[in-house]
Structure formats: structure tokens, C-alpha cells
Structure 1
Amino acid sequence: MFHRILTGSRQLVLISVICSFLASLTVSIYGALQTVVTILHLFSEGEVSSKGAKTLVLSCIEIIDLFLLATVFYITALGLYELFIDDRIKVPEWLEIHDIDDLKGKLTSVVVVLLSVVFLGQAIRWEGNPNILPFGVSIALVIAALTYFLSGKKNRKSGL
């Protein structure tokens, strides 16, 4: 009986899958709306200047940040579904998730890119004050730690 309860309880992961997918969908739609607003603002303002270009680039980076975050939620939903519910779902080979380490590795890779985009946005906003250095060092340390984490996973899988 306990075996049946545990076997059936894996379906509880569907709550996480559904919520992660809904978060991905919501953030994607918000990013699409933000893209439309940015384009409409560009045409309505019509300001062609270095300040306008900086604002446009910053808006585009923030939009990319949203889409990357949506990707994190989507990969989480897909990975949890593959691991706990049904691994027969058709995905590209690079997105196949066979164990929890595969899911963590894919998510970590996207987080590294996400952090890089966040720093790029701050660098574009930067107005010469020295506060960007601690922020950049903090992000660099997190990226270095995540890279080390990923390389350790790859070395353990290859037997090194």
C-alpha cells in the first residue's frame, strides 16, 4: 500500500509543472507586450539621439531578460515533467533531461546568461559612479561558482 501511495504521489509534481509553465507563459506574454510598448514608444517619441539609443538598448535588454526568465520557467516545467511524469515527450536532443543533474545543469547555464544580461543592463545605465564595481564583482563570483559547479558535474559524469 505504501508503495502505491509513493508511486501515485509523483503526480504531485504536476502542480510544480503547471505553475512553472504558467509562469513561463505569463512572463513571455509580458515580454511580448513590453516589446510592443517599446516599439510604439520609439515611433511615438521619434527621438533619435544617443540618449534615445541608450534608452532603446536598455529596454531591449530588459525584454531579453524577461524572455530568459521565461525560458528558465519553461525548462523547469519541461524537466520536471520529463523526470517525474513522462519522459517520452518530444524535445530536441540538447533539451533532453535524464536526471536531476541534467535539469540543474541546464538551469544553471541559463542563470549564468541571465546574470550576464542583468549586468549588461546595469553597465548601460551606469553614469560613472563607483557602485558598479561591487555589483560586477558579485555577479562575476556567482558566475564563477556556477561555472565551477557545472564543470564539477561534467567531470563526475565523465569519470574524472
Structure 2
Amino acid sequence: MTDSRSTPAASRSTSVPDPRGSGRWLMACARLSMLIGIVSLMVAALALLVFGAVETYRHIVMIIAPSGAGLTNREVFLASIKLVDLVLLATILQVVAIGLYALFIDREVPVPKWLRTSNVDDLKSKLAGIVAVMLGVLFLEAVIEGGEGEAILYLGLAIAAVVAALSYFIVSHVEGGD
């Protein structure tokens, strides 16, 4: 014969949810929700790379075409630098996407050593470094386009200030440790 008092108590204890289980479920959902941002960044990077491939084709046709004989070195250099800038932007998007994936989804994702991300500060440092390079490309584009002296000076000073700030950010996070 069973004790009828133990049955209601047993059913009550199994109906109470484990607070740790619901917290884990919530954290798992939060981690997986990052997939929206990760996939968005990867799709945007892919779109930029496809656009870059189309622009590369146009660039080559422009150079090879009979009408391209009238192009100056400056125009060819500028078009080439813009292609590099486009690929750098796609690279930024991919680096951030891969870094977020490594941080939120799979820490063991196989990536080159330089792309490993162990915390958000690593990701921000990588982003800051790539942005600094892009700003350098932007300045080079302005110089090649033949901007006015004073405008180039102000642009160069502004870019130098931003690159110095980004460099300080990177160095302070590397020296400061994790």
C-alpha cells in the first residue's frame, strides 16, 4: 500500500521549474540570437565582395577598352584604390562576424591565429586596426583625386587624429591585458 500523502508532495516538487534551467535556456536563446547579427554581417560582406567583383570587371574593361587608352595613371590608381577600400570594408564585416561567432556560438571555430577572439576587447581592437587602415586608404584617395591643399591638410589632420586615437586604444588594450 502506498502513502497517499507522498504522491501530492512528489507531484508538487516536479512541477516547480528549476531556476537554473530557465536561466540556461534564456542564455542559450540570447547567444543564438546573435546569429541574426552574424549572418547579417556575413551577407553584407558577401554583397560587398560581389559588388567588388563587378567593379573589378568594369575596371579591367575600362583599362583594356580602346577608350581606356586616354586614362591617366591617376585615374587607374584611384579606381584600384577604391577597389581595395571596398574589399577592406567587406573584410571588416567578416572579421566582426567571425569574432562574434567565436565569442557567442563556438569558441573552437578554426580560424587563423591573428583572427582568434577571446573577448569583446580583442574584437574592438581588430576593428579599430582595420578602420585605421581604411582611413589611410580614404586619405590616399583624396590625395590622388587632387584635392585642394588646405582641404587635404584638414582631412589629413582629422584622419591622423582618429588614427592616433585608435592606435592609443589598441595599444592600451594590448598592454592593459584582458
Partner residue in 2 for 1:102: 122
Give 1:141 deviation, angstroms: 0.3
What letter corresponds to residue 55 of structure 2 in structure 1? Answer: Q
Deviation string 1:2-60 (CA, Å, 9 cap, x unpaired) is: 44213322111000000000011011111111111011011112325xx6211000000
- Structure 1 length-normalised TM: 0.92
What letter corresponds to residue 130 of structure 1 in structure 2? Answer: E
State how far apart, in whole Å, the 1-side matches of 2:146 and 2:61 are.
25
Q: Which consecutive residues of structure 1, in runs of 5 or more, have no partner in the other structure?
A: none
State how far apart, in whole Å, the 1-side matches of 2:163 and 2:147 are.
24
Partner residue in 2 for 1:130: 150
State how far apart, in whole Å, the 1-side matches of 2:57 and 2:94 are.
22
Q: Identity rate of aligned residues, in percent? A: 35
Give 1:89 deviation, angstroms: 1.3
User: 1:31 pairs with 44, 47, 52, which one?
Assistant: 52
Aligned partner of residue 109 in structure 2, secondary structure: coil
Moved more, 117-126 or 37-46: 37-46
What letter corresponds to residue 42 of structure 2 in structure 1? Answer: F
Give 1:129 deviation, angstroms: 4.2
State how far apart, in whole Å, the 2-side matches of 1:28 and 1:113 are.
18
- Structure 2 length-normalised TM: 0.83
Alpha-carbon spacing, 1:5–1:22, altered in 2? closer, same or farther (3 Å): same
Is it true that 1:60 corresponds to 2:80 in the alignment? yes
Q: Which has the larger radius of gyration?
A: 2
- Kindly report which structure 2 residues correspond to 1:80-95, keeping only aligned pairs within 5 A, or say none: 80-95=100-115
- Kindly report which structure 2 residues correspond to 1:111-126, keeping only aligned pairs within 5 A, or say none: 111-126=131-146
State how far apart, in whole Å, the 1-side matches of 2:154 and 2:26 are.
50
Aligned partner of residue 77 in structure 1, secondary structure: helix
State how far apart, in whole Å, the 1-side matches of 2:55 and 2:107 are.
34
What letter corresponds to residue 74 of structure 2 in structure 1? Answer: K
Higher RCO structure, 1 or 2 (CA under 8 Å, sep 6+): 1
Partner residue in 1 for 2:166: 146
The alignment's C-alpha RMSD in Å is: 1.4
What letter corresponds to residue 69 of structure 2 in structure 1? Answer: E
Alpha-carbon spacing, 1:130–1:70, altered in 2? closer, same or farther (3 Å): same
Moved over 6 A (4+): none
